[in-house]
A and B are shown apart, each in its own frame.
Chain A
């Protein structure tokens, strides 16, 4: 598909700047909120209007935009600037559909993120945003892969971003998406027998193209499936492995297990498809959010680079219905 050259990951962990994944940052108030990066490079007039998602994405993208040239920007985000969206909708009610202000509206659209990045870099190239909930990032990556098939000399900025907004947190809590009991460690999360997970947010950016030279890793294949049937997921994974891995062996299975008892059967079944392979989980690092798979891809690249792994298979599912597999290889 394509090679990954540079990455920036803004998460609840020390993944940006001085990377230290051994110093795991604690879960606070049952949430894993991203540590906001340095925003000195953002003009104050722009910064004061930005919602959290746009801020996170700008902080993650600017180091890449300032040093590299891209032919396009492709972002995956399930909700974009949801907090601003709610502010805008509340204004409509509070002011009886009267005079509305533009800032919240502009910031609330999901494509505000990719367009803000284009503004920063005066990038007039391909600019697209994918919003397919738990497969938003995967579809953004597939979009980039198709663009690179058509224009193999191009380079793209690929990103995944989502924010925890107060409104979203409340609604998802009422819907049972998050745990009610206190979770303060990975052990708490993965040993839990209850439903729900812990919310997270963050942004991960990738500089990608078709050039092998200098690449950190290669995203060899992506597979996605919508289903709630475990057997359909495992069958899909079997076919995915047969098609893309061939006779090679896996180095690591990176599981999106999130502590939700409703989703555990999918992860367990997929682990059984690749027995005797090292398994690591990542949701205790980044929390559960729709584009957490972007964090997983960054983690896979990091592990391939620093642990000299041959390949990593990522499996993630969102709400037990949107499943994705990504096969990442040493470049």
Chain B
């Protein structure tokens, strides 16, 4: 899958999983931080994102340190998905 298509798909999944009803995929910038002052996500959302990666891409993140490097923004998530996806 092309990177641009994967980014669009991931943004749609993030909106759906986290119930970000006021967001559209185009509202989420590729390099916008997911947590803190970026998209404003919190620790519960990080668990939702880990489940998203597991269910949709077959990626299991068990190390919290690893998760912090992956769940930075859409760019980092997509890069990790492209390298490690099993489905």
Nearest chain B CB to A87's CB is how many angstroms away? 11
- A98 beta carbon closer than 8 Å to chain B: yes
How distant is the Cα of A98 from the Cα of B55 in the complex, in angstroms?
A: 9
Give Cα A49 to B41, complex, Å.
Answer: 12
List B contacts of A103 (CB < 8 A): 19, 44, 48
Do B47 and A102 have beta carbons less than 8 Å apart? yes
CB pair A99–B50 under 8 Å, yes or no, is yes
Query: Judging by beta carbons under 8 Å apart, are A101 and B51 in contact?
Result: yes
Known contacts A48-B18, A49-B19; decide if A99 and B44 are in contact (CB<8 Å): no
Interface residues on A, range: 10 to 19
Q: Is the CB of A48 within 8 A of B21?
A: yes
> Do A98 and B54 touch (CB < 8 A)?
yes
Contact A45 B40 (CB under 8 A): yes
The residue of chain B having its C-beta at the shortest distance from the C-beta of A48 within the complex is B19
B79 on the A face (CB < 8 A) = no
Q: Is the CB of A45 within 8 A of B19?
A: no
Contacting residues, chain A, for B47 (C-beta < 8 A): 101-102
Chain A residues near B21 (CB-CB < 8 A): 48
- Whether A49 lies near B44 (C-beta < 8 A) is yes
A119 at the interface (CB under 8 A from B): no
Asked if residues A102 and B44 are in contact (CB atoms below 8 Å), the reply is yes
- Candidates B42, B48, B60; contact of A101 at CB < 8 Å: B48
Compute how far the CA of A48 lies from the CA of B44 in the bound complex, rounded to whole angstroms: 12
Q: A48: which B residues are within 8 A, CB to CB?
A: 18-21
Q: C-beta contact mask, B26-56 vs A, less than 8 Å → 1, else 0?
A: 0000000000000011101001101100110
* B55 interface neighbour in A49, A95, A106, Cβ under 8 Å: A95
B22 at the interface (CB under 8 A from A): yes
> Which residues does chain B contribute within 8 Å of A100, judged by CB atoms?
51
Q: Which residues of B contact A275 (CB under 8 A)?
A: none
Q: Select from chain A the residue with minimum beta-carbon distance to B40.
A: A45
Q: Does A17 contact B (CB under 8 A)?
A: no
Smallest CB–CB gap between B42 and chain A, Å? Answer: 6
Chain A residue with Cβ nearest B21: A48
Which residues of the other chain, B, contact A106 by a CB distance below 8 angstroms?
A: 44
Give chain A residues whose Cβ lies under 8 Å from the Cβ of B18. Answer: 48
A246 at the interface (CB under 8 A from B): no
Q: How far is the CA of A44 from the CA of B22 in the complex (A)?
A: 9
Beta-carbon contacts of A26-52 to B below 8 Å, as 1s and 0s?
000000000000000000110011000
Q: 8 Å CB contacts to B: which residues of A95-133?
A: 95, 98-103, 106
Give min CB distance, A108 to chain B, whole Å.
Answer: 14
Q: Which residues from chain A contact B48 at a C-beta distance below 8 Å?
A: 101-103
**How far, in whole Å, are A68 and B60 apart by their CA atoms in the complex?**
47
Our pick among B19, B20, B41, B54 for the contact of A99 (Cβ within 8 Å) is B54
Give Cα A123 to B22, complex, Å. Answer: 30
- Chain A residues near B41: list those with CB within 8 A: 45
Residues of B within 8 A of A98 (CB): 54-55
Complex interface: chain B residues within 8 A of A44 (CB): 22, 40
Query: Which A residues are CB-close (under 8 A) to B60?
Result: 99
User: In the assembly, what is the distance between CA of A103 and CA of B40, in Å?
Assistant: 16
Closest 6 A/B residue pairs (Cβ): A48-B19, A101-B51, A99-B54, A99-B51, A101-B48, A102-B47
What are 24 A-to-B residue pairs whose CB atoms are below 8 Å?
A: A44-B22, A44-B40, A45-B40, A45-B41, A45-B42, A48-B18, A48-B20, A48-B21, A49-B19, A49-B44, A95-B55, A98-B55, A99-B51, A99-B54, A99-B55, A99-B60, A100-B51, A101-B17, A101-B48, A101-B51, A102-B44, A102-B47, A103-B48, A106-B44
Given contacts A98-B55, A99-B51, list 4 more A-B pairs with CB under 8 A: A48-B20, A95-B55, A100-B51, A101-B17
